Structure 1
Amino acid sequence: MTGFRRPAVGFVLACVFLDALGIGLIIPVLPRLIGTLAETRELQTVWYGAIMLSYGLMQFAAAPVIGALSDRIGRRPVLLAGIGGLALMMVVPVFATSLWAILASRLVGGAVSSNIVVAQAYIADVTRAGDRTAAFGRIGAVFGIAFVLGPALGGVLGEADPRLPFMVASALCLVNFLYGLFVLPESLTAPDTRPISPAALNPFRTLRSLSAERHLLPALAIIVLFTLTQSLVQCTWALYTEFRYGWSPKSIGLSIFALGAAITLTQGLVLPRVSRKFTPDTVVRGGLAVGLLAIVGIGLTGSGTVAGLLLCGFALMGVVGPTLQSVVSRTGSPSEQGARLGAVSALNSFTGAVSPMIGTPLLLAAPGEGLPYLLFSLLLVAALGAAIRHRLPGGHSAH
């Protein structure tokens, strides 16, 4: 395949798939597991928000560290360490008898799950600059396939016992670790030999360094706005649909099954075609417009079926992320891919961290209503405005 080292890409995508499948298994059951240990719905919502917040904060803090470390010692050992750690953390909720134990497991799990940035850097190592939008889209498509299988299976298993999906997730992560240990080759051919200073591991400093490249500022602003919207939907969907539509874990899992299928089609089939035919500016603007229409529709509809269909339409906004990642990746040297993509991942993790602080209070203030999703849509209005007003670096030409 032109532009790819086929075996290496296949190996790392298989690892990403198993990793994402393990995480996807627990999505439908985490609120229910917390509910078995919380005494009231209010406590369930507060603890759910706190656990989601802690996971995102740890991803934010760890992403630059993991990205920079992979630039020095290689992608393979960092990937394996993260996958092995995640396998251990998935076991903790199986035996936990307190919400504090679950919180601790998600803190550590958030740190080690930041290895997605290493997978992105791995793909950048073995892919030509002009092919990276499609390559990053492949990672998204793999996540989509995993989310087709993981949440659906997790929802079914969770009907019997909300702890059972955690056991299966841990086993899958262990298989992932063994697969990478024996099969995954190293991709980094020219490590960064500069020492890692403590200041360089500060996530705010790495973001400030990236934002100093003024031509990237519009892209970074759009990343913050649209990823915050995605994170708000992700962190509230399970509780939102339970409160508004009375959905069970099985129904939630099936809705995420449909979302995963839409993500797979978007990033595996739609993105490679639109990235060849249209400019990055057009792809980003179109994706944001579709996402905006979908989220407004979710906020307005009182039908759970319609909301589920609109969630699949929301997945079409998935063309935006890989396009912007490609823009950031192409502006840096090969030995800086981990650090640069780590900074972008830190942005994503930061929005994931703050979204429960925004989303869960809105759910408590307006339980069973669509107002939270209508407010979320304002972020996409701002992102679309920025995309229309500013051109992206290289946005004048199609890939």
Structure 2
Amino acid sequence: MDAPLPAVPRVRRAALVFIFVTVLVDVMAFGLIIPVLPHLLKKVTGGEIADATLWHGLFATGYMVMQFVAQPVQGALSDRFGRRPVILVSNAGLAIDFLIMAVAETLPLLFIARLLSGVTSASFSTANAYIADVTPPENRSAAFGRLGMAFGIGFTVAPVMGAWLGAVDLHLPFWVAAGLCTANFCYGFFVLPESLAPDRRAAFEWRRANPLASLKLLRAHPELFGLAGVSFLMALAHLVYPTTFVLYADYRFGWGLEMVGWTLLLVGVLTIIVQGGLVGRIARRYGDRRTVMIGATAGAIGFAMYALAPNGYWFWAAMPVAALWAVAGPAAQSLMTARVSPQEQGRLQGAIGSLNSIAGILGPTLFTQTLAFVAANEIGGPLAGASFWLASVLVGLGGLLAWRATTTRH
């Protein structure tokens, strides 16, 4: 067992509320543009769906590549200069980015703005480092769960609002998103204290801040590389939802947009309940290690139930089981933060963020091609859910990897 780390600093409750709010507002800002960005791309590319789809894929890939590069840099900068300036600069950068997208009428300008958003949104990893700074190890699962709840709220409510605003004007959601980020910056400027004391900071070195070098941190600590692999596999599996669910529901159940919308709303509500109310209770009762196992088991079973569901009713019945998977991520985060020093929390979150960005690059092709093969060959029955079977296997492998990576310490 490593030597105990120094006691975490006491921070005003308003600061912790701000971290929750900053994640919520930033997620809502991104959620607002989800339903309108494809239509805006269609408009600036000449009105052809095929061209807009191609560019939408390139935009998504470019965004993830920039996150892969930027997250380790921001993490290292936050270890050197503190979390507060990195979070505030990122909030300001996001506001500028959305303003650019609000006035952009050309494809190159939109693409540049989207790349910029990949850089500035990397502050999510710094928010995780902030939580690790100010939260005792035994309470981190619950704290990370609350951040997950912010994601759930943002991505449940914001796309609906974005669709309403986009019906008025395609650029209006970008103006609202810019306003939210600006308000977030102003709020944080006055209430957010620094969480990383000067004596806990580490020197900034470019050779340690690049994505590949940052991954070396994961191998420098026992068990950390395995736990990071768990995070990667679960991030990859999660992409089955945004990449294939709409088309899968149409292919398997004949659902239209209304049924898909209600189902995604229920997914969001269940995620909020689990991450906001159950993660902390389960982690306190069973410990972080067992909580990861519980979540991975529920996720693997839940995705398998999705694949087997012969109709929409059975799919809905599987949702509470699959929702319990959400306890695994915060618990895995808690286990990883307990294995590095305060001076390395930013680099750790940057490295995890880079791995998740790799998942974001690989996942869309992996799952969409799987579903495309099913549809092209008109496969029915349980094998029609091949994309969900794949997600089930990935989550199950994540659970096995977590068990193996943490066995020696228990």
**TM-score, length of structure 2 as denominator length:** 0.84
Offset at 1:276? 0.6
Matched, 1:378 2:393: yes
Distance in 1 (alpha carbons) for counterparts of 2:276 and 2:120: 26
The equivalent residue for 1:195 is 203
Distance in 2 (alpha carbons) for counterparts of 1:82 and 1:256: 29
The equivalent residue for 1:351 is 359
Distance in 2 (alpha carbons) for counterparts of 1:308 and 1:167: 36
SS in 2 for 1:185: coil
Aligned-residue sequence identity (percent) comes to 35
Offset at 1:42? 4.7
Over 3 Å counting, the alpha-carbon distance change for 1:353 and 1:132 in structure 2 is same
The equivalent residue for 1:50 is 58
SS in 1 for 2:406: coil
1:21 alignment partner, one of 28, 32, 35: 28
Deviates more, 1:99-108 or 1:175-184: 99-108
CA deviations 1:93-130 (Å, max 9, x no partner) are 44444544433322110111010111111111211222
Offset at 1:269? 0.6
2:150 alignment partner, one of 142, 146, 152: 142
Are the equivalent residues in 2 in contact too, given 1:325–1:341 (CA < 8 A)? Answer: no
1:323 alignment partner, one of 331, 342, 350: 331
Over 3 Å counting, the alpha-carbon distance change for 1:375 and 1:170 in structure 2 is same
Are the equivalent residues in 1 in contact too, given 2:267–2:323 (CA < 8 A)? Answer: yes
CA deviations 1:210-234 (Å, max 9, x no partner) are 1232322331221111111113433
Over 3 Å counting, the alpha-carbon distance change for 1:16 and 1:211 in structure 2 is same
Matched, 1:165 2:173: yes
Are the equivalent residues in 1 in contact too, given 2:202–2:343 (CA < 8 A)? Answer: no
Distance in 2 (alpha carbons) for counterparts of 1:29 and 1:251: 20
CA deviations 1:292-321 (Å, max 9, x no partner) are 233233344465576566556533212111
Offset at 1:162? 4.5
SS in 2 for 1:314: helix
Are the equivalent residues in 1 in contact too, given 2:14–2:192 (CA < 8 A)? Answer: no
Structure 1 spans left out of the alignment, 5+ residues:
none
Offset at 1:161? 4.6
Deviates more, 1:275-284 or 1:143-152: 143-152
**TM-score, length of structure 1 as denominator length:** 0.87
Distance in 2 (alpha carbons) for counterparts of 1:301 and 1:59: 35
Distance in 1 (alpha carbons) for counterparts of 2:202 and 2:407: 30
SS in 2 for 1:186: coil
1:267 alignment partner, one of 255, 275, 284: 275
Matched, 1:215 2:223: yes
Distance in 2 (alpha carbons) for counterparts of 1:43 and 1:363: 21
Distance in 1 (alpha carbons) for counterparts of 2:48 and 2:312: 24
Over 3 Å counting, the alpha-carbon distance change for 1:41 and 1:78 in structure 2 is same
Matched, 1:10 2:25: no
Distance in 1 (alpha carbons) for counterparts of 2:23 and 2:183: 12
Are the equivalent residues in 1 in contact too, given 2:302–2:392 (CA < 8 A)? Answer: no
The equivalent residue for 1:277 is 285
In the comparison of the two structures, how many residue pairs are matched?
393
User: Larger Cα Rg: Structure 1 or Structure 2?
Assistant: 2
Are the equivalent residues in 2 in contact too, given 1:211–1:220 (CA < 8 A)? Answer: no
Distance in 2 (alpha carbons) for counterparts of 1:234 and 1:41: 19
Distance in 1 (alpha carbons) for counterparts of 2:313 and 2:60: 26
Deviates more, 1:329-338 or 1:289-298: 289-298
Are the equivalent residues in 2 in contact too, given 1:263–1:315 (CA < 8 A)? Answer: yes
Are the equivalent residues in 2 in contact too, given 1:155–1:252 (CA < 8 A)? Answer: no
The equivalent residue for 2:380 is none
2:92 alignment partner, one of 84, 109, 125: 84
Q: After the TM superposition, which segments of 4 or more aligned residues of structure 1 sit over 6 Å from their partners?
A: none
Residues 234-383 of structure 1: pairs in structure 2 closer than 5 A? 234-237=242-245, 240=248, 245=254, 247-248=256-257, 254-301=262-309, 303=311, 307=315, 310=318, 313-367=321-375, 370-383=385-398
Over 3 Å counting, the alpha-carbon distance change for 1:238 and 1:31 in structure 2 is farther
Distance in 1 (alpha carbons) for counterparts of 2:224 and 2:143: 21
Offset at 1:4? 6.5
Distance in 2 (alpha carbons) for counterparts of 1:198 and 1:256: 41
CA RMSD of aligned residues (A): 3.0
Distance in 2 (alpha carbons) for counterparts of 1:181 and 1:262: 33
The equivalent residue for 2:119 is 111
SS in 2 for 1:391: helix
Distance in 2 (alpha carbons) for counterparts of 1:141 and 1:175: 21
AA matched with 2:387: P
Residues 177-188 of structure 1: pairs in structure 2 closer than 5 A? 177-188=185-196
Distance in 2 (alpha carbons) for counterparts of 1:375 and 1:38: 37
Distance in 1 (alpha carbons) for counterparts of 2:73 and 2:279: 30
Over 3 Å counting, the alpha-carbon distance change for 1:104 and 1:12 in structure 2 is same
AA matched with 1:336: E
Distance in 1 (alpha carbons) for counterparts of 2:57 and 2:209: 27
Are the equivalent residues in 2 in contact too, given 1:74–1:191 (CA < 8 A)? Answer: no
Over 3 Å counting, the alpha-carbon distance change for 1:256 and 1:176 in structure 2 is farther
Over 3 Å counting, the alpha-carbon distance change for 1:33 and 1:293 in structure 2 is farther
